[in-house]
Amino acid sequence: MGEIKETVKSIAEAARQEFRDVGAADALEALRVRYLGRKGVIRELMQQLGSLEAAERPQAGRLINALKEEIVALHESARAALDRKDSVARVQQEVDVTLPGRPMRMGKPHPLTQTTDEIVDIFARMGFSAVYGPEIETVHNNFEALNMPLDHPSRDAFDTFFIKGRDDLVLRSHTSPVQVRAMRAARPPLRIVVPGRTYRPDTVDATHSFMFSQVEGLVVDRDISMADLKFCLNEFALAYFGEGVRTRFRPHYFPFTEPSAEMDVSCIFCDGGGCRVCGSGWIEVLGCGMVHPNVFRAVDIDCEEYTGFAFGMGVERLCMLKHQIHDMRLFFENDVRFLSQF
């Protein structure tokens, strides 16, 4: 018994050393065969068990089994170590680690998204929250509830995309229908902006597209007046175009506001003197007005108790003015040489 104990001990010591020092896959395989193979060291020890006294066999068997397990484990970890060494060597061979890395191209928001965010931020500072509506809208919300009955000229079939097979749905031609949705969803006071895409069957040129973006605004409360409208939009113009810009309001017509106006800003290129861009010194930037009583009636808000103002602006136009972009088609061509400038 003592003899076999000694043998197992010295085999284990030798194996530890050898598996630790092994440097290549074929040498490791040779070790495995020598220790664990069919004519290997372990097998040989097992065979010697037969010549032991019956009483000693179990204990000796356990010793040999423990030795076998240890050698299997030694083999496993030696192989793992060799694999690691291998892949490091392969990478060093195949990859020039001294080459500079490939720069990762960072994406960023589209210029129209940036402008929309900027506009929404400015109004957020005045207490407006952003709400959204669907681009496929009911004829009722897009027209009727906004005081545009069937015979209104802006309802001309050529001015609206209809949905095939449905005469009650359109691609919204402005963001104003979200006014209707918002006033149905919540009672006043309301102070919201609505960014979103809108659609009109315009032919595409430098300043027109069948798809464009707007930001709508709506304030409804007791005692809201045209003075509030002018103050709010004047603040917006200063924040967006910069200190020193002047605004003017020209009477205009929209079915859903009364009175209605268009707001111009003093030309940011010639400071109002008159130039190639503005002609007159003024640039039109948005439509606005006091919410028409018929719009309040359509959403069951008492127009004796509440008044409000609304406005709508084109995002492409505001973005083009600020960045001196001369062709709207650039926004939709997705040329990174253009987009990466913003």
CB of 251 vs ligand PHE, minimal distance in Å:
13
Residues 6+ apart with CB under 8 A from 334: none
Task: Say how far apart CA 260 and CA 288 lie, in whole Å.
Answer: 6
Q: Which is nearer to ligand PHE, 71 or 288 (CB)?
A: 288
Give 147 or 257: the residue with its C-beta nearer to ligand PHE.
257
Q: How far is the CB of 105 from ligand PHE (least distance, A)?
A: 36
Provide the angle, in degrees to the nearest 10, between the axes of the packed helices 315-323 and 226-241. 40
For residue 232, the minimal CB distance to ligand PHE (Å) is 13
Q: Cβ 243 to ligand PHE, closest distance in Å?
A: 26
Query: How many C-beta atoms surround the C-beta of residue 203 within 10 A?
Result: 7
Helices 2-21 and 57-94 sit at what angle, rounded to 10 degrees?
Answer: 0
For residues 19 and 30, the answer to whether their CB atoms sit within 8 Å is no
Q: Cβ of residue 156: shortest distance to ligand PHE, in angstroms?
A: 15
Q: Which lies closer to ligand PHE via its Cβ, residue 188 or residue 289? A: 289
| Of 18 and 198, CB closest to ligand PHE | 198
Please say which residue, 213 or 266, places its beta carbon nearer to ligand PHE: 213
Question: Looking at beta carbons only, is 35 or 123 nearer to ligand PHE?
Answer: 123
Tokens standing for 221?
């409360």
Query: Around Cβ 306, how many Cβ atoms within 10 Å?
Result: 19
Helix (H) or strand (E) holding 168: strand 166-171
| Secondary structure letter of residue 194 according to DSSP | E
Amino acid at position 171, single letter: L
Interatomic CA distance for residues 67 and 337, integer angstroms: 69
Under the rule (CB under 6 A), what is the footprint of ligand PHE?
174, 176, 216, 254, 257, 287-289, 310-312
CB of 293 to ligand PHE, least distance (A): 14
Task: Classify each residue of 17-41 as buried b or exposed e, where b means 16 or more C-beta atoms within 10 Å of its C-beta.
Answer: ebbeebeeeeebeebbeebeeeebb
Structure tokens at 53: 């006294």
| Residue number, 111 or 217, with CB nearest to ligand PHE | 217
Closest residue (Cβ) to ligand PHE? 312
Please, what is the minimum distance in Å from the beta carbon of residue 195 to ligand PHE?
A: 13
Contact 199/168 with Cβ under 8 angstroms?
A: no
